[in-house]
Chains A and B, each alone.
Chain A
Amino acid sequence: MSGSAKLCKHKAIEIHQKLWEVRLFELRAAELYREGHLPGFIHLSLGQEACAVGACLALEEKDFITSTHRGHGHCLAKGADPRFMMAELAGKHEGYSKGRGGSMHIADVSKGVLGANGIVGQSAPLACGAALTAQVKNTGQAALAFFGEGASGSGPVHEAMNIAAIWKLPVIFFCEVNRYAELSPYSVHVPIERLSERSKSYGFDGFTVDGSNVKAVYNAVSSARQKIRSGGGPVLIEAKTHRWHGHYEGDPMHYLDDKDRDSSQRMDPVVMFEAACALELGINTEELSKSKENAITLIDDAVSFALGLGAAPTSVISEDVYA
């Protein structure tokens, strides 16, 4: 499960654009939030873009993902439209959830995005449910559950891993270890260095990858997806990454240690990948600028779209409670 497999140029450019879409979407969301355009609270994954993009782009289009409260990147990377996402963040009827869900409840089922989820740990059993459908109906689909080290200690995650192992479900457990769970560090939540080791106790494989390296993430998930295709059952992937912003936007982050406070020491997954594109894949600056420009246009459009919308009609409040 090394990061040495060759990425084709086409895929690399796709990854590059997605990295920028995620980065820019969240930078703009942070800005809009500060300016009071986005209500409630939002949780950003700035610094973790390589996890979302590397994982989702290694999946097939028909595959499912379940996500978390910190899920903008996951949804975008799996193909959700930034316009309807931003509209949802702004609480508009045109948003993915008709303004009833907000940042923590974005889904695009047509793209296999079964929803960000506000309850930590539930992404794991919900993904197993989607994997069960794939197994019973023999559709060849797989499901990937995003969760963090905070969720790794929760009951649903353990129960899901145990059932997935017993039933050999086509599911990838993708743990983004971003060094903090809510307001406290890794050591408060996990007593071991490598979470991936836990997979052994359930009876399946686990790997730890550099979550700032999109190529490494992509390769790990590709291999896991390959294993699932041959009926090999679940895989746990632990991606070590960094959460640059607070648990929520506006979090003063008094809990950061000195090393994490020093932003000059940060690995930037986007910069890292751009360097790799130039060095290893021979992608020139012009090509990289073009995919970044595409991302800028998309996110600008999304922001204009969302801000141009009127208030959600109150008539929707009681819609869709029952099917």
Chain B
Amino acid sequence: MKKNRQPALKYYSAVTRALSEEMRRDENVILIGEDVGPSGGIFAQTKGLHAEFGPSRVRDTPIAEAGFTSLAVGAAMTGLRPIVEVGFEDFLTACMDPIVNQGAKLRYMLGGQVRVPVTLYTFGSGGLSAGPQHSQSLAAWFAHVPGVKVIQPSSARDALGLLKSSVRDDNFVICLLCKSLIGSKELAPSATEDFLIPIGQAEVKKSGSDVTIIALGAMVKRALAAADILKTDGIDAEVIDPRTISPLDMTTILKSVSKTNTLIVVHEAMSPCGIGAEIVARVCETSPSVLRSAPVRITPPFAPSPFAPNLEADYLPSVEKIVMKAKLMLEDRR
């Protein structure tokens, strides 16, 4: 058997590593959520944490997302740095008040007297036939709220680096993990490295000069696959992963668009009032003459995420669709 000396980091174990490193570093960091304790979580993402940090700092909660999210806000105001797990992104709708009216606003409303350092991570997006109530991408809802930061790691290394930065951030940070990436793996940063990725910094995943493709979450891999295919047709695509959705790194995006004079945004969330709409609007506001063809948003149709595998496959933006839209855009321009 061939020995692989390069240790791999899986997306879910990146979560475990981020949490355990930050809990070791700062005793004010605690973890609460459903089944985060001895069971280790549905995806084994909290495995070993209860054993290492004990029942005071790693707490299973009853099924009460609204209650324990609000509780985390109260704890954050008084000196702890709670990490909250909400199993599925769809359940964030059950804790809108603690996030939107409490966590996001208390610092502002109370004249800057408090900080609310909460990191809430959750598993969202589609691809696993989880049906309409377990497959949503709600990033835009939270990007609309001042006081909240929103991140979406598209790889294991990003999950590690961004989550660690979130725990150290003094604000309410929502980390939207992608269920379909759970088992994906990458080369792990060295076990002794304090691997951090700054919040608010996009990454150019592949440099190119013909077309800018901005992709979020699990769509980053698809955009990169599309770029490979486009290359065989002589089209040099640039793929950008914003990684942080609020605040958006518009500098990196604008730099790319100025180079390619084109813009495609790919995400799993709905198109109306979405992140794609926001990016297009900001590009047009900042550089009204930079685009030489109409910007394109590639998203699912305006419908809930369907259950059947074939329906969901058709629903989500595909590699083929990204290739087709990019080609069409460039043909139009010629």
Contact = CB atoms under 8 A, between A and B. Distances in A.
A302 interface: no
A214 interface: no
A129 B112 contact: no
Interface stretch (B18-26, B102-110, B184-192, B215-223): B102-110
Nearest to A84: B111
A259 B326 CA distance: 75
Contact of A101 (B56, B98, B109, B115): B109
A100 B111 CA distance: 7
A41 interface: no
Given A96-B110, A101-B111, A321-B147, A133 B79 contact: yes
Interface in A143-186: 143, 155-156, 158-160, 162-163, 166-167
Contacts of A114: 74, 77-78, 114
A223 interface: no
B139 interface: no
B115 A64 contact: no
Contacts of B129: none
B251 interface: no
A139 to B, nearest CB: 9
A321 B66 CA distance: 22
A258 interface: no
B112 to A, nearest CB: 4
Contact of B112 (A64, A98, A122, A159): A98
A323 B78 contact: no
B77 A136 contact: no
B119 to A, nearest CB: 14
A35 B149 CA distance: 42
Contacts of B78: 64, 114, 129-130, 133-134
Interface in B66-110: 66-68, 70-80, 82, 97-98, 101-102, 106-110
B138 interface: no
24 contacts: A97-B111, A98-B111, A107-B111, A108-B113, A109-B77, A109-B110, A109-B113, A119-B97, A125-B66, A126-B71, A128-B67, A128-B70, A128-B71, A129-B73, A129-B77, A130-B75, A131-B74, A132-B30, A132-B75, A133-B75, A137-B28, A320-B108, A321-B108, A323-B107
Q: Please name the 6 residue pairs, one residue from A and one from B, whose CB atoms are nearest each other, closest first.
A: A129-B74, A159-B67, A125-B70, A323-B170, A320-B112, A126-B74
